[in-house]
Each structure stands twice: as C-alpha cells, then as structure tokens.
Amino acid sequence: MTSGFFLYASRYAVLGAGFAGISVAWHLLNDSPKDLRLSVDVYDEIGIGGGASGVSGGLLHPYSPKGKLLWHGAECWRECLELLNVAESSSSSSSSYTSATEKGDTNESFGNFMVRRRGILRPATNAKTLDLMSDNARNCLASCVVETIDNDVAQDLVPNLCLPLNRAFYYPGAMNVNPQRYLQSLFLACQNSAKASLGRQNITLVKKSINDVLELEGEYDAVVICLGSKVDFLPGLTGKLPLRTCRGVITHLQLHESASGSYPEGGPSILSDAWLAVQGPRDLHMGSTWEWQSRNYSSDVSAEEASRALAELLPKASAVYPEIEKWELAGARAGLRAMPPVTSHGSLPLLGCVDQLIGGGSCKFWVFGGLGSRGLLYHGWLGKLMAKAVLSCNEELIPSELTSWKRKTILTISSTLKLKQSLRKLRSHLAEDLVVLLVQPGFRDQGSGCCPNQEPLRCGERW
C-alpha cells in the first residue's frame, strides 16, 4: 500500500469546521455504507470553531420568539440532542479529559461544562403576544415542554427576577452548550469513529484557507461548502446566495467574589430582549447585538465596541434581571451571522448542489449555509440530510424549502432609486413568482413604506 489516496474509494472535502461542517463530517463517516472505504478532509483557515460557531451563545431550544415550534423543530431538536450525546461520550471516554466532572452537568463552574442542562426561561414582555404565546405553549413538543409560570414559581428558579407581566415561559428541557468544547469533542468523536473502522475510514483536519474550490475538484468525489458568512468570497458563489451578514457581540460578565447574590446553581438561562447564557454562579454571557451588513469577521472586540455593546444590552437584561447591574465586564467576543431571507416557514438555511454556479462536474459541489441565528438547532438534522444527499448524489433528499433559493432571482435594493429600477426588473420576473428582495439598512429610514414585501426587512430573529 502506498499513499492513503489510493486506499479510499470515496474522498470528501468539507470546507469549514463550524457547526455545519463538523456535523456533515460526522454524518458522512457514520451514515455511509459499512463497507465503503471513505476519507474526509475538513478544511478550516482558523481551526475548529474558528467562525461564528465558536463564539455563539450556545442557547438551544426549538421555539420561535413567540414560542411557536420552528420548522421541523422536532427533527432538529432530536438530531441535535443525538450529536450532543455523541460529543459527550467521546469527551468522557477520552484520556485528554481527566475526570467525570468534565462530562457536563456535574460541575458547572465557568467554562467547565459542555452542555448545561438547566432549562431556559423567557419572561413575557409584550402584552399583545401573551395569549398567543400561551396558546403556543400548549402545543409544545413532548420532548421539550413549555411551562407557563407566574412570578412565585419564577422566583424559585431565579430569585429577584422581574416579570413585567407576571408571566414567564419556562423550557425545563432546554440547555446551553459550550460551543468550542462541543465542537472539539464532536471532532474527536469523528476521529474515534474512523479509528474504530480499522482503516476503512479516515478523517483529517487541514488548517488551510481555500480561495477557489475548483482547485479541489480533481482530488475529491465531492466538496461540501460550510463556510458560514464567508461563503460569499468563493468565486462562483459571490452574490449568488441570498444572505445578509449581521455581526453580533457577546459580553462576558462576572460577579465579584465579594458581591452577594450569585446566580443559583440550578438556575436557567434567560431569553429576553437580551439573553443571559449562564456559565456558573458568577459567570455568564450576555448577548447579543445585531449589526446588520457588517463585514467585520474578527472575533476580537475592541474596548470601544465592547462598551457600546454593554450599553445596549445591559438595560435590556436589567429589565428582567435587575441584579445584572452588579456584574462586571470581563471580556467580549463577536461573530458574523449569515442571515437567510425570512420565508413563510421562518428563516431557513440554504442547502443544495451548486455545480451549475461553480462549474464543476456533477454532484461535486454542495453548499450548507445561511444558518442564521440558529446554527446549533439546525446543524444536526440538516447535516445528516446533507451527508445523505452527497453520498447518494441526490439533491432531492433535501427538503425543497431549503433548496428553493436556487430557483429565485435575487434583487438587492439599497435606495429608493434602486427600488424603482428593481420594480421594473421585478415585473419581468413575475412569471417565475419567486423573487427575493434584500433591503439594505437605512432604506426604511428614508420613509418609504412601499416595499412590496415587508418580511425581509424584519430586524432578524431574536433569541
């Protein structure tokens, strides 16, 4: 036997080692035919969790801000829990992790958990949607129940909580994930799976920036592009995916040892106009800002940007948890979301084969992007569907709601003048009836209320 290259019947490249990429890699290895000799190379210019995934808040539940079950929420929830289990078992069985306290819910001191299973609490803050939310709560998933609770019950969970409408929605089965630790462990699980295959499988992490996917064409059976908000840089794909970028800053707050009122050990994380992802009794992450159209990919946050974020988030968090005023800024990180358009099913990721855009062979190039603000929820199930489609060279295994972007015409409108030009263009496309409008910020400020489709204007999905 000479080199690995000739050993493997199928060779796949996965670009990007975030939630999307690592999930696809896991499913390529584990959902392929048992006798197939298969090799997966995962490329990332920074490393595992180098993009938005590594900094994300890690909050996980299957509901919309109004408490409605999201599109295919049951499947997404189930497959995500499955991957969390895979990652937890690989880290607890690994010698590089020392003891059972690492496993997650046994020790929740700062950064010392992979999955914190303490539930999530959403205080009701809008009287108009209260009845709707209560109705939605009654239609929740049995595997992730939503309890409607009043102030007394809420105070037992989080003392000094402030419920403006004396009502909150509690998801006891929801959780928050330490995204870096989770991704590292899931990759470790991929390596273990390859090892256990006794040479049948191989997975390698390649730290390299890919600037043109055609370079990889000859080497691989298929290339799965999971580059998050940077997918737009690839030749052939620039401007072809209906994505808007949105930078988010997350602040890290600590409560000084000498200060009273630490967060209760078993207390849930909180979702409101700002969210609190609890890391421990004196550690939490508070997020997140929404800077639309930012092109700043840096995870570093300057002192100036951090204090702006703090000034924006603190009043929102303090409205439901006034104690937060006592906590101090200990750091901040940022990531760039790749936001897909809002459809009648909500904001859905963009998947599909993109040979026609890139100009390669057939079933060669695939995209898995636009995970928006819910990458964690979506990555498990969609990573599985993606791997199935790639392995069998059949795009139809992907739900059409996720591939429909390929059949749409993208018009970007950034000013009133452009709107007029675009409307003319729009008319010629009406027969296709599928048109996406991307509207740049600032446009609405110009006082034009005549946008034919208000939906994409909505200011993002809120956790």
Ligand X SMILES: Cc1cc2nc3c(=O)[nH]c(=O)nc-3n(C[C@H](O)[C@H](O)[C@H](O)COP(=O)(O)OP(=O)(O)OC[C@H]3O[C@@H](n4cnc5c(N)ncnc54)[C@H](O)[C@@H]3O)c2cc1C
Contact footprint for ligand X (CB under 6 A): 15-21, 43-46, 50-53, 55-59, 209-210, 226-228, 230, 248, 250, 287-288, 335, 337, 369, 371-377, 463
Q: Which of 173, 171, 180 is nearest to 56 (CA)?
A: 180
Select from ligand NAG, ligand X, none the partner in contact with residue 360, using the beta carbon and a kind-dependent cut-off of 5 to 8 Å.
none
Give least dist CB 10 to ligand NAG, A: 12
Residue type, 164: P
Cα 45 → chain centroid: 19
- 443 neighbors 415 (Cβ within 8 angstroms): yes
50 vs 62, beta carbon nearer ligand NAG: 50
State both tokens at 30: 């584990």
Give the three-state DSSP class for 99: coil
Pairwise CA distance, residues 351 & 369, whole Å: 6
Q: What is the DSSP letter of 214?
A: G
Please tell me what DSSP assigns to residue 397: G
Residues in region 383-412 near ligand NAG by CB under 6 A:
none
Residue 102 makes contact with ligand NAG by CB under 6 A: no
Q: From the list 4, 159, 164, 322, which residue makes contact with ligand NAG (rule: CB under 6 A)?
A: 4
Q: How many CB atoms lie within 10 A of CB 421?
A: 12
Question: Could you tell me if 69 and 63 are in contact, meaning their C-beta atoms sit under 8 angstroms apart?
Answer: yes
Q: How far is the CB of 201 from ligand X (least distance, A)?
A: 22
The count of chain residues that interact with ligand NAG, using the rule CB under 6 A, is 16
- Check binding of 39 to ligand NAG (CB under 6 A): yes
Residue 13 lies near ligand NAG (rule: CB under 6 A): no
CB of 258 to ligand NAG, least distance (A): 18
Which partner in ligand NAG, ligand X, none is near 178 (CB below 5 to 8 A by kind)? none
Select from 65-73, 298-306, 354-362, 452-460 the region that touches ligand NAG (CB under 6 A).
Answer: 298-306
Instruction: Considering the complex, state which of residue 29 and residue 59 has its C-beta at the smaller distance from ligand X.
Output: 59
CB of 150 to ligand X, least distance (A): 27
Residue nearest to ligand NAG (CB): 4
C-alpha span between 107 and 110 (Å, rounded): 9
**Which residue among 36, 85, 93, 107 contacts ligand NAG (CB under 6 A)?**
107
The answer to whether the CB of 62 falls within 8 A of the CB of 76 is yes
Please tell me the number of Cα atoms within 13 Å of 25 on its side-chain side: 35
CB contact set of 156 (below 8 Å; sequence gap of 6+): none
Measured at the CA of 440, the angle between CA 438 and CA 445, to 5 degrees, comes to 125
- Binding pattern to ligand NAG, positions 299-318, x when CB under 6 A? -xxx--x-------------
Interface with ligand NAG (CB under 6 A): 4, 7, 39, 41, 101, 107, 109, 112, 202, 204, 296, 298, 300-302, 305
